[in-house]
Structure 1
Amino acid sequence: MGTDSVITHVVAALAVVIAASHALGAVARRLGQPSVIGQLFAGIALGPSLLGLLPGQVSELLFPKQIQPILTSLSQVALVFFLFAVGYELDLRLLRNQSAVTAVSVSGFVIPMAAGAAIVLLFPGGFASVNGGRPTGTTFVLYMAVALSITAVPVLASIIKDQGLMGSRPGTIAMASAGVIDVLSWPVLAVVLVGGEEGSVRAWAVKVALLLLYVLVMLFAVRPLLAWWMRRPGLAAARQVPLVVTVALASAWATNALGLHVIFGALLAGVVMPRLADGSPDARLLRPLQDLGGLLLPVFFAISGTAVVLGGLHSSDLLILAVICVAAVVSKVAAGSLSARGARQPWRDSLLIGVLLNTRGLTELIVLNVGLQAGIIGPRLYALLVVMALLTTAATGPLIRLLRRPADLPPDLHTDARPDGGALVPDVRPGADAAALPSSGAGTASGQ
């Protein structure tokens, strides 16, 4: 296939992917679900599970093997911009003097991790079979632990907004806790990837040392330089955005070169990016990367969906799927609910918090793709985990409507709008107890 033919196929594939993704995303939202549900279904439909079943090899005609590396590269670039925005919006000040957030976030991270490790240890043969005979040792156990611990902050924010919980006590605590859970999950996933590589103990130690050195350079060299550059008088945002894009891409390249995924460098770049005087991210810098990442994310959903081969599943895999789903749901809901109740939240609010933390979505898909690319999980287990992510995310809205009463809605949503007029952010300032802040808003509402 010549260059012109490759370009033609890439352009056509992008048109189909973006159109199908946004169309099914809109359908999902009309059905009361986050758009990520429809967008992932679009990816699955465009893959071998549906389009590949049609006569005439339509799937191969639309997505020939020659353009797969290009689409994969575009999907990784989308993740770089998305994770940079996630890192830039993280506000660790939410942990200060927040007894409810601390209790819920720690429990919502540790207990699902323990559940993920436990199901592998209890059913080693079943997981070895569904994972194509891959090793089910320490690396795999830790990976499954991380996979069950994830809560998708962007999807959660969208659900909180759609369900009218923005500004409520459960919505505020769940959003803040989900952000902390993600902060805890990424380093553990990084350790899993480093530990899963073959090599001597010395080579592993050298890689860990280089990663720590890189983090220190980003914190104590790159961050001050960025702060100095961005404080220069008369520096327009139009000149700052290219620098931000460069830093995000360069950091992603660095972590990938060190043996980790590009997402870790992108996330770290967002964390070290200087903020405004009040501690909030600069919307003039954040919005362009959010828009660019959002435009390209359908390609990531397409790549994720086409990797799901439902026809390759065995009937015996349904038992493992049931085990995964039960462990994922019970551990998240129980951890969030009981810890919130222990922090003196009402029972109904505690149950809502537990249900909200059970939301997965785009963040879970990122973790699953990393595991698939690293060879930790195979196609069959990947498909089961994607189904788990879809089911747990889709169940959140109906469960909220079942638990919530009209009286639970805040009469006045005293939320602070971002400077760009976009999504609302939590008003959980240092020194204020989240349990006593029913007027706090939810975070970013990208709908992913």
Structure 2
Amino acid sequence: MSPDALIAHFVGASALILVAAHAAGWAARKLRQPYIVGQLTAGIALGPSLLGSMAPDAYDVLFPQEIGTALTGFAQFSLVVFLFAVGYELDLKLLGDRARTAVGVAAASFVVPMAVGSGGALLFWDQLHGLGMPRAPSPSMVLFAGIALSVTAVPVLTAIVRENGLARTVPGVVAVSAAGLLDVVCWTVLAGALLENGGDQALGWGWRVALAAGFVAVMLLAARPLLRRLLWRTHLEPSLRMALLIGFALGSAWVTHSLGLHVIFGALLAGVVTPREPDDRLDPDLLRPLHDVSSLLLPFFFVVSGQAVVLNGMGVTGWIAVLVVTALATVTKIGSGTVAARLGGLGRYDAQTVGILMSARGLTELIALNAGLQAGLLSDRLYSVLVFMALATTLFTQPLLILVRRLAARRPRGRTDDPSGPPPGQDGTRAAPVPELG
């Protein structure tokens, strides 16, 4: 295929991806579902399992193998920008008076699903072998199975919190704060799992850990003050400042990828070390274009993720695995989050709201799964199973929240034996506003 033909195919495929993904996201929002649900569904629909099966000739014309590298490059670029914004917005000061409760919820929402996921992988590895996995699991594979059940998607969660009027309530504050803490833990553990399977294998595992730790230290101790001086003491135009910071995020992503930590970790780290305004305020001139760019280009990531979903080869074993894994992912997350929130002093319905919110996985789960697939920790069939789990748990979030709200509204008034407090969404506790990226 000539270069001109490749460019024409890429332009046409890009037009289809952007229109289909954002139209599906709009439709999902009309159905009171997160935007990501529609985009992920569109990505799977444009993949080989649906479009490739129903119209193979059209699929080959729209998505020839030659443009796969370009699509993957756009997907990785969108991830870097998106995760840079996530790292920049990460603010554990939201904990406030509910710090103890949020820490307890984060710990329980990590430990219980991690134990169940890792233990289940060891106990049922023979069945997983039927999904294309090797006969003997490596420690990284077992660890990754636990991470797959432990992840909570902060961007999707914050969007759901806002859309349900929970941003200024106790359960909303606790859930967002706990999810932020959980994000830090999960990304750290995932980094350890990927270090064993990625990077320059000429370097031993210990050397790569040491280099990664050194890079983090340089970013925190040197890059952060340099950025503070650059952003606060110079008067750069907003467009130039954004270009320099995106370049900084891309460079950081390249370093972590070279160390076997995937580009996602470098992008997150770059966002974390980027200083806020002198009054600890997020820079709107930086944040707004970051959201615009990532929202525009993230459909490429959904389509690339959907290309790896294999519906035709799932079989009975695969669909049974989807049901089992989804049930485990839902019960462990909602149960552990609810119990921890209850022990932290929240009422019954507020605690249930927190547990349900912690079960939303969405985009963060897809990013982790994509990294695991590239590192060889997942087979294509097991990847498909976990993608459907991520989609199902995100879909369940809104209906379950509505159910809890209705139960809270129906409880008898004036009871003295129910310390649940007001129904979710009616408490006056304030939380810092959180942008919608989901």
TM > 0.5 between the two? yes
Residue 445, structure 1, aligned to residue 425, structure 2: no
What is the match of residue 34 of structure 1? Answer: 34
Question: Offset of 1:2 from its aligned partner?
Answer: 1.1
1:359 touches 1:392 (CA, 8 Å); kept in 2? yes
1:16-52 Cα distance to aligned partner (Å, 9 max, x none)? 0000001111111111110111111101111112111
Question: Offset of 1:54 from its aligned partner?
Answer: 2.3
What is the match of residue 105 of structure 1? Answer: 106
1:188-228 Cα distance to aligned partner (Å, 9 max, x none)? 11100112359989711111111111111111111111111
1:175 touches 1:443 (CA, 8 Å); kept in 2? no
What is the match of residue 412 of structure 2? Answer: none
- Cα distance, 1:198–1:171 mapped onto 2, change above 3 Å: closer
What is the match of residue 86 of structure 1? Answer: 86
Q: Which runs of 5+ in 1 are unaligned?
A: 414-437
1:127 touches 1:136 (CA, 8 Å); kept in 2? no
* Residue-pair matches, total: 423
**One-letter amino acid matched to 2:38:** G
Q: How does 1:24-63 map to 2 (within 5 A)?
A: 24-63=24-63
**One-letter amino acid matched to 1:372:** L
Question: Offset of 1:122 from its aligned partner?
Answer: 1.8
What is the match of residue 418 of structure 2? Answer: none
What is the match of residue 338 of structure 2? Answer: 337
**One-letter amino acid matched to 1:355:** I
What is the match of residue 354 of structure 2? Answer: 353
Residue 244, structure 1, aligned to residue 245, structure 2: yes
1:359-384 Cα distance to aligned partner (Å, 9 max, x none)? 01000000011011111101100100
Cα RMSD of the aligned pairs, angstroms, is 1.9
1:119 touches 1:323 (CA, 8 Å); kept in 2? no
**One-letter amino acid matched to 2:368:** V
1:337 touches 1:350 (CA, 8 Å); kept in 2? yes
Question: Offset of 1:91 from its aligned partner?
Answer: 1.1
CA distance in 1, matches of 2:109, 2:191: 19
Question: Offset of 1:234 from its aligned partner?
Answer: 3.3
2:199 touches 2:257 (CA, 8 Å); kept in 1? no
What is the match of residue 278 of structure 1? Answer: 279
CA distance in 1, matches of 2:58, 2:184: 41
- Cα distance, 1:227–1:380 mapped onto 2, change above 3 Å: same
1:134 touches 1:377 (CA, 8 Å); kept in 2? no
Give the stretch that moved more between structures: 371-380 or 235-244.
Answer: 235-244
Q: How does 1:355-394 map to 2 (within 5 A)?
A: 355-394=356-395
What is the match of residue 23 of structure 1? Answer: 23
1:134 touches 1:376 (CA, 8 Å); kept in 2? no
SS of corresponding position for 1:395: helix
Give the stretch that moved more between structures: 124-133 or 171-180.
Answer: 124-133
What is the match of residue 416 of structure 1? Answer: none
- Cα distance, 1:325–1:409 mapped onto 2, change above 3 Å: closer
1:128 touches 1:136 (CA, 8 Å); kept in 2? no
What is the match of residue 326 of structure 1? Answer: 327
SS of corresponding position for 2:386: helix
CA distance in 2, matches of 1:94, 1:56: 50
2:199 touches 2:258 (CA, 8 Å); kept in 1? no
- Cα distance, 1:56–1:109 mapped onto 2, change above 3 Å: closer
1:172 touches 1:442 (CA, 8 Å); kept in 2? no
What is the match of residue 69 of structure 1? Answer: 69
1:284-331 Cα distance to aligned partner (Å, 9 max, x none)? 112212211111000001111121111111212233222211221111
What is the match of residue 208 of structure 1? Answer: 209
What is the match of residue 314 of structure 2? Answer: 313
SS of corresponding position for 1:310: coil
1:392-442 Cα distance to aligned partner (Å, 9 max, x none)? 0000000000001456255586xxxxxxxxxxxxxxxxxxxxxxxx23255
Question: Offset of 1:279 from its aligned partner?
Answer: 2.2
1:160 touches 1:442 (CA, 8 Å); kept in 2? no
What is the match of residue 427 of structure 1? Answer: none
SS of corresponding position for 1:246: helix
CA distance in 2, matches of 1:69, 1:202: 27
SS of corresponding position for 1:231: helix
Give the stretch that moved more between structures: 108-117 or 229-238.
Answer: 229-238
Q: How does 1:119-130 map to 2 (within 5 A)?
A: 119-130=120-131
**One-letter amino acid matched to 2:297:** L
**One-letter amino acid matched to 1:237:** P
Question: Offset of 1:55 from its aligned partner?
Answer: 4.1
Residue 408, structure 1, aligned to residue 423, structure 2: yes
TM-score, with normalisation over the residues of structure 2?
A: 0.92
1:226-275 Cα distance to aligned partner (Å, 9 max, x none)? 11111224333233112111111111111111222111100000000011
- Cα distance, 1:157–1:197 mapped onto 2, change above 3 Å: closer
What is the match of residue 149 of structure 1? Answer: 150
Q: How does 1:423-434 map to 2 (within 5 A)?
A: none
**One-letter amino acid matched to 2:434:** G
- Cα distance, 1:411–1:212 mapped onto 2, change above 3 Å: closer
2:199 touches 2:261 (CA, 8 Å); kept in 1? no
1:358 touches 1:396 (CA, 8 Å); kept in 2? yes
Q: Percent identity?
A: 45
SS of corresponding position for 2:312: helix
2:44 touches 2:307 (CA, 8 Å); kept in 1? yes
